[in-house]
Chain A
Amino acid sequence: MDERIVMVDSGTGLKLTEEQLDERSAVATVQLRRRGVRSGDTVLICLRVGPDLLVSTNAVIAAGGVVWPLPPDLDTATLRDRIHESGARVMISDVRQALDAAEESRVRIVMSVADLNGSCPSWAPPT
């Protein structure tokens, strides 16, 4: 059961097992909540198709959010319009154009894949 493959990255050939998917999604859900995502919130996701996109989508849904996907190959003006329409507070992306397009939007926090994996330093709360 734990070895069940649920996705293969066509670019790198890397395989994602069901267990990895569950684990990464759970971590990402916690990270989203820490950044303030609540149920009913729209979250923009602009990532290339692959495991990260799957994990992010799962995590947004698990956090109670609404996924608003953005294809990374859109031009900046279209990206900007879509970001604006979404009214989202949080965006998940590592894509340069998407980061630029979010510049004058109402997005408060941009999370990278590394942020979602919790691999940025997380600090102990004050005592």
Chain B
Amino acid sequence: MTVPAPHNLPVEPNRFIGRERDVSELGALVRAERVITLSGVGGIGKTRLSLRVAAQARPWFADGVWLVELARVGDPALVVNEVAGVLGVRDELPGRLLDGLRLRLRDASTLILLDNCEHLVERCAELVAQLIAECPRLRFLLTSREPLRIQGELVWRVPPLELPDERHPDAESVLLFVERALAAGARAVTEHMPDVVRLCRALDGLPLALELAAARTGLLSPGRIADRIGDRFALLTTGHRTAPARQRTLLATVEWSHDLLTPKERVLLRRLSVFAGVFDLGLAERVCADGGILRRAELLDLLAGLVDKSLVLHQGGAGRYRLLETIRQYAADRLEEVGEVARLRDRHLRVVCEEMERCYEGGSLEPRMPWPARLAHFIRGRTLLDDCRAAIDWAVASRDAVTGLRLARAALAILAVRGDLGESVGWHERLLALDLAKVPDDVVAVAAAALAYGLELADELERAEELIVQGVEEQKRHPYTHWLGISYGVALTVFFRTGRTERALRYMEELEAAASAHDDPFNLATARIARLNLALFQGRLRQARRHGEEALALGRQAGHHWTQARALTHLGAVAEAAGDLETALSCHADALPLLEGMDNRVELARCHAQLGRVAAGLGDRAAARKHVAAGLELSRKAGQRRGVMRALSALSALAQAQGDLEGRCWPGPPPPRCASRSGRSARRGGCGSC
């Protein structure tokens, strides 16, 4: 293999201790078995071991080794989304993600590591069984406190680290403890080896317990720690008496470590449990500080204290943090105990909403702004998506429709630039089902339009039409916003597609008037592209080109790469229709890097297919093959059946051009069954997505 296989495994936070034989045996098993579940209690080291094994298995999986973290996924229905997200499969049609995953994985030699499955065992079992049956070269490595219990699953029980005895005073557990204690600045630990041995035994060799204990050796000697944890163990509340011994040991250690925190650290730790994964200091300050018990200015120090005590992990050093799952659950229980859940999750929802709106506004509302500045906002918005999901769940649960809808629409804007807004359909459906009596009319109207946007992409034109008419008409009663512009774009697309050109034209004219009056180049460009489409459809190629050039100029002035890319691909289509293949080629070629930079794989794949077709027409077979193959590969990777179809039609153009119907760049077996709805017009009015 020449190109190293792709992966998304994190770098290890510190030295991996012991388990040499386990790692090498699992390395062999991962190649021989299709589903291996590493099982065992929390904190025993399942995740850490699985990451080791996965990293070493990389050379065997040409299509990559992918870590999917499920700890924070609450809703079983979202397991597929999580896997798809990691593999880069885009939501072509809302609700059809699984299809996309199948397409992506059908011929791929891939190892998927599903981490922390225990709370989603049933859904994981179903999904794994299904994918294994359909994708012959796919393998799974899982970590779960409970096995899946599916056929062919090899359950591999992770033991604790080895305990010391007379013959092996430097067993794995001792090594881990001493190393972490030294890192915590405890120079003297090695002088108390008998106590260290006693402590490692008391902690049952559990890595997480050892880490928590080692983090305190700066203040307490190993002997004292062993005594204190012994006391805690005796104090464990009755409810836990029946739990397995290892679990009790871990809980006792976590409680002990928690008891040693200062009151403020305790407050912060439990509040941090509301984050859906990685968070940064700024978010922690805004969600957790309250000006009373916790002041913003002290948060950094408190956070650093929790990191020193091994209760919070400093992720990758870039000011980003996270909690291990066992600790997060413990912290969430404490939050519940003091009755702060609703208050904190409200605040989390509000802060995530404000932050997402800032990203949306920063990226989209400024009429003129250099692209790198816009992109930074979009990228920041993408990092908030996990928290966004959790926050929308809370908005639904707490019936806070207003904040939920504001968050959902801001997030939609972030998703759309990347070409996959399928997930937003579910958000809007759930939120719009709440009691909307107290929601301002314009917020409901935008939400209806946002839902219509997703439905239109999913070809649900009837529902989309009803919603978009309602959305546009209501918004017209309020001052103009960028959302009204976008809503017009959706409306005219829906009406063009259903053949009602009159109504589409009316919306187009209204959009032009409104967008020019309010200096909204993004949506004005949408109107120009719609005019281009209409002119192209009617064979008025010169006018079509003029509209396209206007749209391109608007995109350039605005500094918006998405607008420019849309204008360019449409201009390419016009040039192609005019038989000017040279120009078509250069238009599509100019759009390509813009789409790459946005990570919009759906439109990028389409652009490659168009380039392939044009290059074939020009007789440049090598270039044509290259683009068709690139488009096909992207579509397969993103699980886009329509993209595959498009690449195939480009392929047939290519094959005709070279009189070679074998289509030599087809890299695998024939294409899968294609969605029957793919017959819609390739050129649609521009709601931005085409």
Q: List chain A positions with a Cβ less than 8 A from chain B.
A: 34-36, 102-110, 120-121, 123-127
Contact = CB atoms under 8 A, between A and B. Distances in A.
A109 B32 CA distance: 15
B206 to A, nearest CB: 11
Given A110-B157, A123-B32, 16 more contacts: A102-B157, A104-B245, A107-B159, A108-B22, A108-B156, A108-B158, A109-B154, A120-B151, A120-B152, A121-B152, A123-B33, A124-B136, A125-B32, A126-B60, A126-B137, A126-B139
Nearest to A109: B156
Contacts of A109: 154-157
B281 interface: no
Interface in B65-115: 109
A124 B28 CA distance: 13
A93 to B, nearest CB: 13
B32 A34 contact: yes
Contacts of A123: 32-34, 152
Q: Contact residue range for chain B?
A: 20 to 34
B244 A103 contact: yes
A105 B159 contact: yes
6 contacts: A34-B32, A102-B157, A106-B159, A109-B155, A123-B152, A126-B60
B25 A36 contact: yes
Give the 7 A-B residue pairs with the shortest CB-CB distance, closest first: A36-B25, A106-B159, A121-B152, A123-B34, A126-B109, A126-B137, A108-B157
A35 to B, nearest CB: 8
A110 B481 CA distance: 64
A104 B246 CA distance: 8
B137 A36 contact: no
Contacts of A127: 109, 137
Nearest to A87: B162
Contacts of B307: none
Interface string B325-367: 0000000000000000000000000000000000000000000
Contacts of B22: 108
Nearest to B152: A121
A127 B437 CA distance: 60
Give the secondary structure class of A's interface: loop
A126 B139 CA distance: 9
Q: Chain A CB within 10 Å — which of B60, B139, B155, B159 has the most?
A: B159
Contacts of B246: 104
B31 interface: yes
B29 interface: yes
A120 B152 CA distance: 6
A34 B245 CA distance: 31
A126 B32 CA distance: 8
B61 interface: yes
Contact of B29 (A36, A110, A126): A36
A7 B182 CA distance: 61
A91 to B, nearest CB: 10
B159 A108 contact: yes
B107 to A, nearest CB: 11
A123 B33 CA distance: 6
Q: Chain B CB within 10 Å — which of A103, A108, A109, A121 has the most?
A: A108
A104 B25 contact: no
Nearest to A115: B154
Given A36-B25, A103-B244, A108-B22, A126 B31 contact: yes
A121 B374 CA distance: 52
A125 to B, nearest CB: 6
A124 B31 CA distance: 9
Nearest to B132: A123
Given A123-B152, A126-B61, A104 B244 contact: yes
Interface in B23-62: 25, 28-29, 31-34, 60-61
Nearest to B22: A108
Nearest to B156: A108
A121 B32 contact: no
A1 to B, nearest CB: 35
Nearest to B162: A106
A107 B157 contact: yes
B180 to A, nearest CB: 22
A34 B157 CA distance: 16
Q: Chain B CB within 10 Å — which of A106, A123, A127 has the most?
A: A123
